[in-house]
Amino acid sequence: MDILSNLALGFGVAFSPENLAYCFIGVLLGTLVGVLPGVGPLVTIAMLLPITFNLPAVAAITMLAGIYYGSQYGGSTTSILVNLPGETASAVTCIDGYQMARQGRAGPALAIAAIASLFAGCVGVLLIALAGPAIAEWALQFGAAEYTALMLMALVASAVISGGDVLKGLAMVVLGLMIGIVGVDVNSGMQRYTFGVPELVDGIGFTVIAVGLFAVAEIVVNLERKDPREVYTGKITNLMPTRGDLKDSAWPIVRGTAVGSFFGVLPGTGPALSSFATYLLEKKLARDPARFGRGAIEGVAAPEAANNAAAQTNFIPMLTLGLPASATMALLLAAMTMQGIEPGPQVMLTRPELFWGLIASMWIGNLMLVILNLPLIGLWVSLLRAPYRWLFPSIIMFCCIGNFSVSNNPGDVYLCAAVGVLGYVLAKLECEPAPLILGYVLGPLLEENLRRALLLSRGDPTVFFTRPISLTFMIATLFVLAVVIAPGLRKKADNA
Amino acid sequence: MKLQVYAYILSAAALLGMVPTVAAQAPYPTRPIRFIVGFPPGGSNNIVARMISPKLSEYLGQQVVVDNRGGANTAIATEIAANATPDGYTILMNAPGHATNPSLIKKLNFDSIRDFAFITQIGQAHNLLVTHPSFPPRSVQELIAYSKQRPGQVNYGSSGIGTSVHLSAELFQYMAGVKWLHVAYKGGGPGLVALLAGEVSLYFGNLPTVINHARSGKLRAVAVTGLKRSPAAPDIPTVAESGVPGFEVATWWGLSAPAKTPPAILARLHKETVRALNDSGVRKQLQGLGGEIVASTPEQYAAYVRNEIAKWAKVIKAAGIKSQ
C-alpha cells in the first residue's frame, strides 16, 4: 500500500473548491454548536442529514465529519469563559479552564485549548491513515471483562481527582453513580428510580448534570457574594500563552493525545471519558498536584488534546469496519449508506477518493479550526467585560436553550435547575463536582459491563483474571490503589 | 425539480392571498403541522421522518416540522400525540414500540389503538440473522438442532430490551422451541461489535447494517426475518422457509394522528403521504435504509397495528419479559 500516493489522491480531492467549502461550513457549524451547551454535533448532523442527500458523497461526509470534530474545539470556549461545558467532553476543561479565566488568563487558556486540539487532531488523523484497520481489529478484543477492568481502574484512579478530602470525593463518586443508574437497566430492562415518570425512563442526561453542577451552581454562588463582583477584566494579561505556558503544556498535550486516541477507538467510551482519564493522569504526574483545580494550564491542555484525539480516532471503527463507536458515528454511517456507500472494510478499496479525501479534509479542517478560533479569542475574552447583570441572565438562557434542545423536553430545564441547587449545596459543603460527574459517567458503564461479563461467564468471576488485557488492567488497578492509599497513610502517620 | 418547488410556493402564496376574500373558513392546512417523532435525532425513525417531511410540506403547502420527543421507546411522544388537539396539526410517527409498549410498560397513559387515527404504514424493513463464523450451525435447521442439544448455552446479542433485534430472537425461541441466553447491549453499534468480536454467537441485525459484514466473511448470514426474501439479498433464505413457517419480524414506520381528527383531514393527509412515498427519491432513500415502501390504506394499517399488538403480547408473555 502506497500511503503517499493515497494521501496525494486524498489532498487532490479535498482541495477541490467545492470540498474545501463544505469542509469549512462543517467546521464553522461545529464550532458554533460546540459553543452552545446541549446543541451538539448529534442534533446538528441529524438535522442536516436530509440536506446532504443531494450533495456528492465526499462533500457530504466531509461536512458532517467537520461538524463533529469542530464541535470539540468550540466546546471548550464556554467551559473556560463561564464554567458552562458546551460539549460533554469539555466538562473537565471547566475545572482548571474557568479558574484560569478568573485569574485573567482566559486568553492563554483558550489559545492552549486550540493548540492542543490542533496537535491532537493531526495525530489522530495520522493514526487513521497509518494504522486504522489494525487498530480497529485490536479494539475488537475489548469485551465485557476488559471494559469492566478498565472502568474499575478509572474509578479507583478517580479518588485522585478530588482535591482534598478523600471521603468527600468518594461520597461524590457514589452520588454520581446513583444519579447515573436512573432509568432502564440495560441488562434486565428494569426501571430504576424512575418513580413512574416517563421522562426519567431514559435516565438523566449528561447536559442536565454538567450544566447544572458547573454553570448554574457557579452563578448562584457568585450572586451570593456581597463584596463587589470579582472583576476578571482588570487582570487580563495577555491573550496568547507565554513561552513558559507552552513548555508546561507540551508533554500534557502529547500524553492527552495518546490517552484520547486510545479511548476514541473503544466503542461506547469516547471523548468524555478520555478527557477525565488524562486529567487524572496529569494530576498524578504533576510535581505540584495542588495547582490542579486552581488554574493549572496542564489541566486545560491535556483534556482538550484528549477529547480532540478521541474525536478523530472515533472514526477508525466506523471507516475501517463499518462499526459506529458512538451515536454520532452511527449517524455518519447512515449518511454514507444513504449515499449508496456500503460501509465496511471494503470502503478503503472501493471508494479510495472518499476515504483518503476525508482524511485529508480532516487535516485541512483542523487547521481551519485553529485559524478560525485564534482570532476569536480576543472577542470571547472581551465578552467577559460585560456586567454580570447582563452576563448571568444570558448564561442562564443558554443553559435553558441547551437543555431543552437535547430532547425538546421542558422537564430537563427544571431538572437542570434542581441540579443547580444541588451544585450550590455541594459548593457550600466544599464537595467537588468533578468526582460526581465521573461516577455518573463510569458507574453505569462499570455495572453494565460487570454484569454482562458475569452473564457470559455464567457467573465465574475468574474471567477478569484469565483474559490478558483484563488482567493487565486489574494489576494496574491494584497499583493505582496502592499509589492512592500510600500517601494518605503516610499523611495520617504524620498527623498522629 | 427546483422549478416545481417554486411553482408550489407561488401557488400556495396565491392561494393565501385569495383566502380572506373567498371563504371565511380557510382550507386545511393554514399553519405549520407538527410531526412528532418518538426518538431523538439519529436512528432510522428520525431519518424517515425528515425524508418525508419536505415532500409533505410541498404538497400540503404548509411547513411540516419534525419534533423529536425521544424517550421510553416512543411512549413519551405517543402520549403527547394522544393528548394533542385532533385538528390535523399534530401527526405522529409510529414505530414497533407502538405495538410492543402495551405489553412492555404496565402503566401507559394512552391506548395504542383507541386514541389514534391510523393514516398509512410508511414502510418496513427486515432483520438478518447473522452468526459469528466460529459458530458451527450454518442454517436455521442446524441452529435449531444445535440449540436443542444445548439449552441456555447459546448467547445471542441484542441492541436492548424490547428492540426488534431482541424480539426477533424471542419470537424465534418461542416458535422453534429453543432456549438461548440473552445478552443486551446499549444500542445497535455495541451489539454488532460484540458479535464481530465473538462475544455473542448470533444476532438479528438490521439488514443494511450487517449485510456487508456477511459479504466480507466476518459474519455468516443465516436467514432474513421477512416472509419473502429481501430484494437486497435474494440469495439468503427466510427463516419462514427454512423450518419455522410463519416467522416474520419487521421494523416498521407508520403515520397516525390523534383519534378525533376530522375524516376529511385524515383523507388529505393519507393522499399526500402516499404521494410523497411514491416519489422516486424517497423510495430510493428508504431502500438505502434497507426498507421498502408499504403505503397501505388506513384500514390495512390499523389492522396491521392490531395484529402486531396481539402477536407481541403473546411472545413477550411467553418470554417472561416483565412489564414495568
From residue B154, give the alpha-carbon distance in Å to each of A145, A224, A266, A376, B293.
Answer: 18, 61, 26, 57, 35
Give the helix ranges, DSSP H, for A324-432: 327-338, 347-350, 352-383, 388-407, 410-428
Q: Is the pLDDT score of B26 beyond 60?
A: yes
Which residues in chain A are closer than 8 Å to B218, comparing Cβ atoms?
345
Q: Could you give the angle at which helices B44-60 and A327-338 cross, rounded to 10 degrees?
A: 50
Q: What's A199's DSSP letter?
A: G
Query: Considering only alpha carbons, which residue of chain B is nearest residue A187?
Result: B184
pLDDT in tens, A206-230: 878 888 888 888 888 878 776 555 5
* Least reliable range by pLDDT among A61-70, A108-117, A282-291, B138-147: A282-291
Q: Is the pLDDT score of A414 beyond 50?
A: yes
* Least reliable range by pLDDT among A85-94, A145-154, A248-257, B188-197: A85-94
The pLDDT value recorded for residue B248 is 93
* Cα of A315 to nearest chain B Cα, Å: 13
Q: For residues B169 and B204, is the Cβ–Cβ distance under 8 A?
A: yes
* Cα of B286 to nearest chain A Cα, Å: 8
Which residues in chain A are closer than 8 Å to B54, comparing Cβ atoms?
50
Task: Give the integer Cα–Cα distance in Å for A132 and A17.
Answer: 27
For A432-456, give one letter per residue: b (16+ CB within 10 A) or e.
Answer: bbbbbbbbbbbbbbbbbbbbbbbbb
Q: Is the pLDDT score of B259 beyond 70?
A: yes
From residue A224, give the alpha-carbon distance in Å to each of A382, A419, A483, B152, B212.
Answer: 24, 18, 39, 61, 60
* Cα of A194 to nearest chain B Cα, Å: 11
Verify whether the Cβ–Cβ distance A189 to B162 is below 8 Å.
Answer: yes
The pLDDT value recorded for residue A130 is 85
Query: Considering only alpha carbons, which residue of chain B is nearest residue A323?
Result: B189
pTM of the predicted protein model: 0.78
| CB proximity under 8 Å: A 169-208 to B | 184, 186-191, 196, 198-199, 201-202
Verify whether the Cβ–Cβ distance A408 to B193 is below 8 Å.
Answer: no
CATH architecture for segment(s) B126-242: 3-Layer(aba) Sandwich (3.40)
Q: For residues A149 and A467, is the Cβ–Cβ distance under 8 A?
A: no
Is A352 within 8 Å of chain B by CB? no
| Nearest alpha carbon to residue B17 among B56, B57, B54, B61 | B61
DSSP E strands in A66-158: the ranges are: none
Verify whether the Cβ–Cβ distance A46 to B189 is below 8 Å.
Answer: no
**Domain residue limits, chain B:** 2-124+251-319, 126-242
CATH architecture for segment(s) B2-124+251-319: 3-Layer(aba) Sandwich (3.40)
Is A322 within 8 Å of chain B by CB? yes
**Domain residue limits, chain A:** 3-495
Verify whether the Cβ–Cβ distance B42 to A46 is below 8 Å.
Answer: yes
pLDDT in tens, B58-84: 999 999 999 888 877 888 899 999 999
Please report the ipTM that was assigned to this predicted complex.
0.76
Verify whether the Cβ–Cβ distance B216 to A346 is below 8 Å.
Answer: yes
Verify whether the Cβ–Cβ distance B44 to A325 is below 8 Å.
Answer: no
* Cα of A402 to nearest chain B Cα, Å: 14
The pLDDT value recorded for residue A232 is 54
Verify whether the Cβ–Cβ distance A188 to B161 is below 8 Å.
Answer: yes
Residue A448 identity: E
* Cα of A339 to nearest chain B Cα, Å: 8
Do domains B2-124+251-319 and B126-242 share one topology? The answer is yes
Could you give phi then psi for residue B181, rounded to 5 degrees?
-100, 130
